[in-house]
């Protein structure tokens, strides 16, 4: 450990992971909802994000867990996540998609909720997204578009990137994907059904791949409007590189 409590290597992280995490389980011994948070140096927001995830789990009356997938953090993210009651797993392959794929594999619940660890998403109301899956959707997205502004999302992403990618998905799936916000990172899904898709994306294109593969397999996809806030901490997005990865997919 460094003097400020940061894990210096994988052995340090392993020792931290061995601390008991908070999990609320049902009589069957497994949680119903697994909140999955990919994390790379999010010490400014990770503790509050986890607290909001627990708030949403409890408000919805769910048995649940919070799974943080550390993707190579060098700050105090791991220690703070464990102190906040999350189960932390480590994914060495870098990338948003790689971290989420690991979280989906590791989740113990029947319904997964993926979100970012930067306080952008309305996790205290995660029950609104989860309820769509409970009602029969295989995949439900929280649409951010009505809550976007210059503070919460850059101009190119807000008025060009997300609308264009959403339009392209609607076209190539012949209308099977009808969501307005295809790039939303706040989603609930039937974990078993999503695992069956065998997703491969390692970067931001993972968001499009999930929708594209779900449409090919005739999954029921739903969408709900929820607020979107300005992120806390440094953004990991690369506008042009991430856009090219989506286009290649």
Give pLDDT tens digits for 160-199. 456 666 667 666 766 666 788 888 999 999 999 999 999 9
Confidence of residue 156 (pLDDT cuts 50, 70, 90): very low
Does the structure show a pLDDT above 90 at 157?
no
Residue of 8, 233, 13 whose CA lies nearest to 117: 233
Give pLDDT tens digits for 76-112. 999 999 999 999 999 999 999 999 999 999 999 999 9
Tokens for 103? Answer: 């979280």
Judge contact between 98 and 91, C-beta under 8 A. yes
Residue of 163, 164, 173 whose CA lies nearest to 209: 173
Does the structure show a pLDDT above 60 at 218?
yes
Judge contact between 232 and 118, C-beta under 8 A. yes
Residue 94 pLDDT: 96
Give pLDDT tens digits for 56-67. 999 999 999 999
Give pLDDT tens digits for 114-146. 999 999 999 999 999 999 999 999 999 999 877
- Of all residues in the chain, the percent with pLDDT exceeding 90 is 61
Residue 152 pLDDT: 46
């Amino acid at each position: 450990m460094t003097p400020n409590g940061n894990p210096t290597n994988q052995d340090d992280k392993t020792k931290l992971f061995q601390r008991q995490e908070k999990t609320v389980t049902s009589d069957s011994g497994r949680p119903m909802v697994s909140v999955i948070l990919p994390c790379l140096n999010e010490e400014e927001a990770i503790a509050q994000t986890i607290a909001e995830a627990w708030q949403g789990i409890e408000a919805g009356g769910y048995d649940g867990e919070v799974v943080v997938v550390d993707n190579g953090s060098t700050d105090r993210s791991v220690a703070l996540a464990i102190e906040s009651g999350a189960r932390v797993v480590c994914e060495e392959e870098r990338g948003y998609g790689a971290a989420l794929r690991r979280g989906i594999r590791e989740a113990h619940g029947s319904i997964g909720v993926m979100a970012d660890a930067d306080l952008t998403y309305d996790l205290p109301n995660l029950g609104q997204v989860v309820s769509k899956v409970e009602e029969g959707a295989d995949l439900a997205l929280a649409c951010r578009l009505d809550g976007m502004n210059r503070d919460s999302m850059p101009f190119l992403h807000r008025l060009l990137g997300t609308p264009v990618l959403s339009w392209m998905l609607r076209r190539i799936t012949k209308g099977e994907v009808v969501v307005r916000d295809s790039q939303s990172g706040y989603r609930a899904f039937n974990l078993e059904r999503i695992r069956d898709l065998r997703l491969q994306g390692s970067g931001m294109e993972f968001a499009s791949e999930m929708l594209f593969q779900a449409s090919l397999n005739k999954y029921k996809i739903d969408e709900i409007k929820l607020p979107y806030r300005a992120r806390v901490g440094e953004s990991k997005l690369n506008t042009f590189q991430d856009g090219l990865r989506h286009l290649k997919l």
